[in-house]
Amino acid sequence: MPGPDYTIFAFTDLSMCTSLTDGDRSFLEPFARGSRLLSKPNDEATGSRDEDTSMRNASNKGDAQKEVQDIDPSYGFDEFLASMDILICGRGLYEQTMQRTNGKWPYTGKRLIVFSAVPLSEPVSSPDGQPPQRPFTPPPNSEHFTGTPAQLMQKLFRDNTRSRKFRRESVWVMGGASIRGALLQLGAIERIELVVVPKIITRGNPFAPRSGSVGVPLWAFPSIEGGQEEERADVDLQLIECRSYENGVLGLSYVVGGMSYVVGGNP
């Protein structure tokens, strides 16, 4: 049996930032109620959209029912979350989420694995030298992991093969950026789901680690070859679905293709 299925799902602005530098995600609030779906992934270029329009105009009752059905309040996230078995994230993202929800983990009923040097019940040192804050009560079915992303992949592979589910478990790679980047580098990620809002924030946390290059962000990862300080990777993606919403939001679904590595210099 192959190992778990790793997927990234992220809400971003047009510059591929997932939050402000302090973890604040208020830039997403204007879009929080969802929107009417304008285009559907299964529409045919030969006119099925026109047929749908005719059906919607058949009666006022039909119009009202169709409009309600076309409103997607979560841009596909609720359906995605329901299909996940395991959530993984870094301690920073975990703490930011708990602070935003007043200590109530919002994704209950899922196994949660947090990269952390200490258990979730213990405080972590503040990067600015401030005294550590009192830790939140860890949610049920949560655990901390002190190893590397590669070691976690090995652990989850063993867990999956030892289970009696006889299916691949689905893993949501929540973030942050370094964890997404490491798992992309390792070739673990199979799908990327993006919800892109029509906004550009000037100071934010990137979707994945960036190099110092100016212009289109390039993802820089720690060295996997001895003696190299930086390794830059191009990640090939294949678009398999695009959804557009009335409020300007786009839903993009990709499968991850091969990678070509360039060590140092320009790609």
CA distances for 144 relative to 83, 114, 151, angstroms: 22, 5, 13
Query: Per-residue pLDDT averaged across 121-136, rounded?
Result: 79
In a domain, residue 171? The reply is: yes
Least confident of 48-52, 89-93, 110-114: 48-52
In a domain, residue 197? The reply is: yes
CATH number at residue 193: 3.40.430.10
Query: Per-residue pLDDT averaged across 191-210, rounded?
Result: 92
- What's the pTM? 0.78
In a domain, residue 225? The reply is: no
Query: Per-residue pLDDT averaged across 68-89, rounded?
Result: 90
In a domain, residue 183? The reply is: yes
Is the predicted pLDDT of residue 213 greater than 60, yes or no? no
Is the predicted pLDDT of residue 212 greater than 70, yes or no? no
Encoded tokens for 27: 């830039």
CB 222 within 8 A of CB 231: yes
CB 90 within 8 A of CB 114: yes
More confident residue, 27 or 263: 27
3-state secondary structure of 160: helix
Question: What is the tally of structural domains in the chain?
Answer: 1
Residue 124 one-letter amino acid: V
pLDDT over 70 for what percent of the chain? 71
**What does the alpha-carbon distance between residue 41 and residue 162 come to, in Å, rounded to a whole number?**
37
In a domain, residue 68? The reply is: no
CA distances for 204 relative to 159, 210, 245, angstroms: 35, 12, 24
Give residue 2's pLDDT band: very low, low, confident or very high (50, 70, 90). Answer: low
Query: Does the N-terminal peptide bond of residue 176 adopt cis geometry, omega within 30 degrees of 0?
Result: yes
In a domain, residue 256? The reply is: yes
Q: What is the pLDDT of residue 117?
A: 92
**What does the alpha-carbon distance between residue 221 and residue 234 come to, in Å, rounded to a whole number?**
11
In a domain, residue 109? The reply is: yes
Containing domain of residue 108, as a range? 5-34+73-205+234-263
pLDDT per residue as tens digits for the range 9-59: 999 999 999 999 888 999 999 999 899 998 665 554 434 444 444 444 444
Q: What is the pLDDT of residue 159?
A: 87
Number of continuous H segments (helices) and E segments (strands) in the chain: 6, 13
Q: Where do we find the tokens 């079915």?
A: 141
**What does the alpha-carbon distance between residue 267 and residue 264 come to, in Å, rounded to a whole number?**
8
Give residue 209's pLDDT band: very low, low, confident or very high (50, 70, 90). Answer: confident
In a domain, residue 92? The reply is: yes
**What does the alpha-carbon distance between residue 77 and residue 171 come to, in Å, rounded to a whole number?**
14
Query: Per-residue pLDDT averaged across 104-118, rounded?
Result: 96
